Structure 1
């Protein structure tokens, strides 16, 4: 990692705290290649750092079911502040403004229009490993509130008609086929106080103290926080949905894990990524095999990404605002609402199948489950095929002939304001 002392004192530097796939420095450098041969993202420094009082969540809608969710952070709901056991480790990057604006573009913030991005910029205070206890201001990409689980969908799940129709305890118990063995073990002991179990835990931290490992303490703390909320609390269902339904793909999670190891993040935090962040893939217990078309969907989405990004970049640089709004409208209506709804309904049904596996599952329910799987799969292929074709045509060249100087013409929200960070 490149230490920050090489850029100390510079006033035209933007600090960004990366916690998702951007902790992988190789991935970060390659993000802008889809925008054209003249676009590149270069960081001035990179240091491992920690953000306290927050936890990692995967609540940013993606491309379900191939890439269902992306990474973000959430302030812990316990209200304990600095005493909260939750913490997020990542990489503190220093960018010049041109590179940071390109990074913002790759996150969907074209032309500084935050409405086109699933993220908002949020100032946070982080501590680097080299200077523990010294807080430094940085920007983090946090999921926009209206980009998480749709309010109308939460209200529908909370409605009496839905609960009367499906009496299975898909939200009161996390022991499903998609969860890790550790979560099933904790779920079976929910009658016992989580705090009491933590105090009685014989495991020791790396430094030899009696504190439980970070991966266990943070995992149990989230369960305790959910249990402390009233049944009708608006945040409870959203938290349960995030834990049970919204999961990253193995490809995306692998980028984070590899980046965490390459960047030298805390070993206990890497263990958290291994034991707690479970990939989002349900194997139907009655069929005994993964969801169909998974490999084909992933391939199509990966091929479509370059074409989609270059089309968006071309619309931005050529000032085709109407086309940009049209593309965003298609994304907003088709992906974020319809596909997310269908994919989560399919996941809910798989949970119900898992809970009833011992008693047998009616044929009609099996057909409903697999019908939902195929419907989501074909909807993804219908969208991704044209963009995948453009991505294949573009190859390694510049398909839309983006000018090499265009990378500096983009204005992000951070590019329009002067942010001076004390080092």
Structure 2
């Protein structure tokens, strides 16, 4: 009996010794740990008391990216952004600075190193590293003497994997975010890197706490931009084109519809410009969607100027009793065709927007108890196909209406000319008898 107990007693003593050593290292190093069960993310921090360096440990499921920021908000914060490397075996760490509620930009003034044990483990991020000189950065500094130092957390889609070795790679908008605090007094100590490497995975926070709950990023501004521009493109613009051609006897109607179109387009464009400031790639206004949008604005003002000027010319000629100048007809044609071309560009541009939004999966996430990702679904494909069908249908319908009006107007003019010639002939022959 005693011989059976001896191995168990020995194993127990070894285990106690290992845990005692780990606790001793932790106590010397100084460590605070944030853990969130809903996301499965662990972030452990050590602040080296003999330098400006910070040591960290991150364990996370493979979201497209995970970002931890030092500060209470994105503006002026330093963020460490983690995402898979190109080969999918290691992890890229990108130090970034945020100037506001915008995509953070890579900051090359800081050096981040990783331990050899870092990488992808069973599909999850597992990183132990050091950010050299990261306690101070150009727009702020870490609070290292508080039991509730502020931190922020953001994460990308779990279904849209980012794999790159480039620290400047573009980041898609976060799927969710949150704020938490860490005890940086507790986290200050020496030998932190060794302690982090020796720590086992944990499912509990120590010296850290989530503030409130995780928030889902609903991206309402982009939704509003899409709705307004879709209504303008598929609703107001076709009506305006039809009233311009079919209801020429009532020009006030065309003025009303064109004014409504301008209000919709300018409103949607204003929201779009605000959204463009949030992303590095759109801040220079060089994407196809932005270029086409700017073309629409230019065309919109050209159409308005030509329409108003042409109307003034016609009214002026009517007051003097003289016919409008010949070039006013060219101005009228330019007004009509630029307006039609503008509508076609709007159809294409809204299509680009629907395609990029429909092909980018988003998540139903960040409740208090769960985080669930939605795969690229048939609903998104149907949205893209549905828009293409509706846009093509609107284009064909407006073309048919305009063609019908053109044919009817042409025949009416021909009938009027024929009646006029018949009257003139009757006058000539009548005067000869």
Normalising TM by the smaller chain, what interval? under 0.3
Structure 2 length-normalised TM = 0.22
Structure number with the bigger relative contact order (C-alpha 8 A, sep ≥ 6) is: 1
The structure with the greater share of residues assigned to strand is 2
For the pair shown, the structure with the greater C-alpha radius of gyration is 2
